[in-house]
Structure formats: C-alpha cells, structure tokens
Amino acid sequence: MKKLLLLRHAHAEQPEPGMADIDRPLSDRGRAEALEAAECIAEAELLCDALLVSPALRTRQTAIIVAAALDLAEEPRIEQAIYLGDPAALLATLRRCPADLTTVMMVGHNPVLSALAQRLKGAPSGLDLRTSGLCAISFAAETAWSALRPRLATDFKLLR
C-alpha cells in the first residue's frame, strides 16, 4: 500500500512590517504543534520515505521538527510548487516521485493541501486542515506515483 501524508505547516508568527510571507517563522505554539503532529505520525506507525516541503520558512521549520522527532534519515526536498501552488501543481510534484517510494509526506499550506486531499479522496468540499493538520491518504500498492489522479484513494484518515 502507498501512503501520502499531507501536513499543513504549524502555527506561524504574524509578519513583521516589511517581512515577506515566505519568511514567517513558527511561533512557540507552532513548534509544539509540529511535535504533536510527529507524535500522531509515530502513533500511526507511518514511516516516511520522502519529505516534500514548501520553501517557506514555516514549512521548513515544521518539517525539520517532525523529521527530527521521527528520526527520519531523508533530507527534506524543497519544492517551489508547494508554495502558493494549486492542487494540479502539487499533484505534478507527487507524480515525479520515484516509483519505489512507499510513503511520502508533503508539508505545505492551506487552502491548497485541503483541496488536494479532497480531490484525491473524491470528497465534496469542506475539508479544512488546521495548522499542523495531518491526513493520511492510501492508494493500492501497485499505484505508481506517476499515475496519481483524483478519486484514486482507497482510504483517507484525518489524523490531526
């Protein structure tokens, strides 16, 4: 079985005057939320083969905290399309994943992560991942990442 974990970045600080959105860091609350997300992943016994991350500071910090808490050996792969992209851009990013990967985690932003989850699940709108919100989407083992498309999911779990 293949799994896709979609993790919204944890709570971020409000931007300082003149600060670009991409440079917003995690708040203290966000650092705690990222650790809670890592606990959810560990409790679900999910092992990640790859970590795809938006270049925004808050997503990189979320990914670093989660990866450290889970003792993940893989370095996060920064993917520009995850920042301010649309669901089609995120899907295209996932389709470039090597076929041998079993579980991929994408750390990004709303509303696009929620929209991608809805499309893969084939669900009506209404899903809204909170900060550090996490869902696990399963696909048949023979599904190639390159073949991901809407309504292909075999299971969907909102973990946080």
Q: Is the confidence at residue 29, as pLDDT, over 70?
A: yes
Query: How are strands ordered across the β-sheet holding 134-139?
Result: 77-78, 50-53, 103-108, 2-8, 134-139, 155-158
Q: pLDDT, tens digit, for every residue of 32-85?
A: 999 999 999 999 999 999 999 999 999 999 999 999 999 998 889 999 999 988
Q: Is the confidence at residue 125, as pLDDT, over 80?
A: no
At 124, is the pLDDT very low, low, confident or very high (cuts 50, 70, 90)?
low
Give the domains, in start order, of the chain with CATH numbers. Answer: 2-12+21-158 (3.40.50.1240)
Q: pLDDT, tens digit, for every residue of 128-140?
A: 899 999 999 999 9
- Where helices occur in the chain by DSSP H, the ranges are 28-43, 57-70, 87-95, 112-121
